[in-house]
Chains A and B, each alone.
Chain A
Amino acid sequence: MNASDKKNAKILVFSTDKISDPAIDMAGLLKLYYPVKVYTIAIPCSSAVKSRWIMHAYEKGFDGVFIAADGSDCPYDESCTEKTGLIVAKTQELMKQKDMDPARLRMSAVCSVCSEAFVRQMKSFNEYLSKSA
Chain B
Amino acid sequence: MSKRIGVYICRCGGNISDYVDVDKVKGAIEKEKDVVLTKTTMFACADANQKEMEKDIQENDLDDVIVASCSPKLHLTTFRAVTVRAGLNKFNYYHANIREQVSWAHSDDKPGATENAIRVVKAAIAKMRHAKPLKPIKIHSKKAVAVLGAGVAGMRAAIALAAMDCEVYLIERNHFVGGHTAQWEELFNSEETGKNVISRLFHELLLYKNITIYTGAQVIENAGHIGDFMLKVRVEPAYIDEIPDPLEIKKAIEVCPVEVPDSFNFNLTQRKAIYRNNPEEFPEKTVIDIKNCTRCGECEKVCKSINFSQKEKIITLHAGTVLFATGFDPYTPRENEFGYSRISNVITLPQFMRLIALCDKKLIYKGKEVNKIAYVYCVGSRQPDGENKYCSRYCCTAAIFTSINVRKKYRNIANYHFTRGVRTYGKQEVYYNESLRMGDVYLQSFDHELPVVYQKGNKTLVKINDILTEQRELELEADLVVLVTSMVPREDQSTASLFKLPKGRDKFLKEIHMKLRPVETVIDGITIAGTCQGPMNIAESVNSSLSASAKAFSYISKGELELEPIVASINKNLCSWCNACYEACPFDAINKVDEGSKSYAVINNSICKGCGMCLPVCPYDAIELITYSNREIEEMIDMLAKD
- Docked Cα-Cα span, A4 to B115, in Å, equals 10
Contact A74 B109 (CB under 8 A): no
Contact A87 B616 (CB under 8 A): yes
Contact residues in A for B157 (Cβ distance below 8 Å): none
Contact A28 B100 (CB under 8 A): yes
Interface string of B93-114 (1 = CB under 8 A from A): 0000101111111111111110
> Which residues 14-57 of A have a CB within 8 angstroms of B?
18, 21-22, 24-29, 31-34, 36-37, 39-41, 43-45, 47-53, 56-57
Contact B613 A29 (CB under 8 A): no
Tell which of A27, A57, A76 touches B637, judged by Cβ atoms closer than 8 Å.
A57
Contact residues in B for A60 (Cβ distance below 8 Å): 637-638, 641-642
Contact B106 A77 (CB under 8 A): no
Interface residues on B, range: 35 or more
Contact residues in B for A57 (Cβ distance below 8 Å): 637, 641
A72 at the interface (CB under 8 A from B): yes
Contact A75 B502 (CB under 8 A): yes
Contact A25 B71 (CB under 8 A): yes
| Min CB gap B508→A, angstroms | 13
Contact B109 A2 (CB under 8 A): yes
- Docked Cα-Cα span, A49 to B394, in Å, equals 40
Total A-B Cβ pairs within 8 A: 157
- Docked Cα-Cα span, A90 to B617, in Å, equals 10
Closest A residue, CB atoms, query B612: A48
> Which residues 51-109 of A have a CB within 8 angstroms of B?
51-53, 56-57, 60-62, 72-80, 83, 87, 90
B430 at the interface (CB under 8 A from A): no
Contact residues in A for B100 (Cβ distance below 8 Å): 24-29
Tell which of A2, A4, A45 touches B611, judged by Cβ atoms closer than 8 Å.
A45
Contact residues in B for A56 (Cβ distance below 8 Å): 634, 637
Contact B109 A4 (CB under 8 A): yes
Contact residues in A for B566 (Cβ distance below 8 Å): 44
| Min CB gap B54→A, angstroms | 27
A121 at the interface (CB under 8 A from B): no
Tell which of A31, A39, A83 touches B613, judged by Cβ atoms closer than 8 Å.
A83
| Min CB gap A105→B, angstroms | 13
Contact A61 B616 (CB under 8 A): no
- Docked Cα-Cα span, A19 to B113, in Å, equals 24
Q: Known contacts A3-B109, A3-B112, A31-B104; is A75 also within 8 Å of B625 by CB?
A: no
Q: Known contacts A36-B109, A40-B101, A77-B502; is A45 also within 8 Å of B637 by CB?
A: no
Contact B513 A44 (CB under 8 A): no
Contact B512 A37 (CB under 8 A): no
Contact A53 B97 (CB under 8 A): no
- Docked Cα-Cα span, A4 to B641, in Å, equals 16
Tell which of B99, B610, B633 touches A28, judged by Cβ atoms closer than 8 Å.
B99
| Min CB gap A32→B, angstroms | 8
Closest A residue, CB atoms, query B516: A22
| Min CB gap B56→A, angstroms | 26
B510 at the interface (CB under 8 A from A): yes
Contact residues in A for B65 (Cβ distance below 8 Å): none
Contact residues in B for A52 (Cβ distance below 8 Å): 621, 630, 634
- Docked Cα-Cα span, A80 to B584, in Å, equals 10
Contact residues in A for B514 (Cβ distance below 8 Å): 112
Contact residues in B for A22 (Cβ distance below 8 Å): 73, 513, 516
Q: Number of A interface residues, CB 8 Å?
A: 52
| Min CB gap A111→B, angstroms | 9
Contact residues in B for A39 (Cβ distance below 8 Å): 116, 119-120, 123, 640
| Min CB gap B27→A, angstroms | 19
A110 at the interface (CB under 8 A from B): no
Contact B640 A50 (CB under 8 A): no
- Docked Cα-Cα span, A78 to B522, in Å, equals 12
> Which residues 487-523 of B have a CB within 8 angstroms of A?
502-505, 510, 512-514, 516, 521-522
B628 at the interface (CB under 8 A from A): yes
| Min CB gap A68→B, angstroms | 12
| Min CB gap B316→A, angstroms | 28
- Docked Cα-Cα span, A2 to B116, in Å, equals 14
Q: Known contacts A28-B99, A33-B106; is A53 also within 8 Å of B613 by CB?
A: no
Tell which of A37, A78, A112 touches B513, judged by Cβ atoms closer than 8 Å.
A112
Closest A residue, CB atoms, query B116: A36
| Min CB gap A42→B, angstroms | 8
Closest B residue, CB atoms, query A87: B616
| Min CB gap A55→B, angstroms | 10
Contact residues in A for B97 (Cβ distance below 8 Å): 25, 40
B636 at the interface (CB under 8 A from A): yes
Contact residues in A for B643 (Cβ distance below 8 Å): 61
| Min CB gap B498→A, angstroms | 16
Contact A76 B609 (CB under 8 A): yes
Q: Known contacts A36-B112, A53-B630; is A73 also within 8 Å of B505 by CB?
A: yes
Beyond A18-B512, A72-B505, 10 extra complex contacts between A and B, CB < 8 Å: A3-B109, A8-B112, A27-B100, A28-B100, A32-B105, A36-B106, A39-B119, A49-B616, A50-B616, A76-B611
**What are the nearest 5 A-B pairs in CB distance?**
A48-B612, A4-B112, A36-B112, A3-B109, A28-B104
User: Can you list 5 contacts pairing A with B, beta carbon distance less than 8 Å?
Assistant: A36-B116, A41-B123, A43-B633, A47-B612, A77-B586
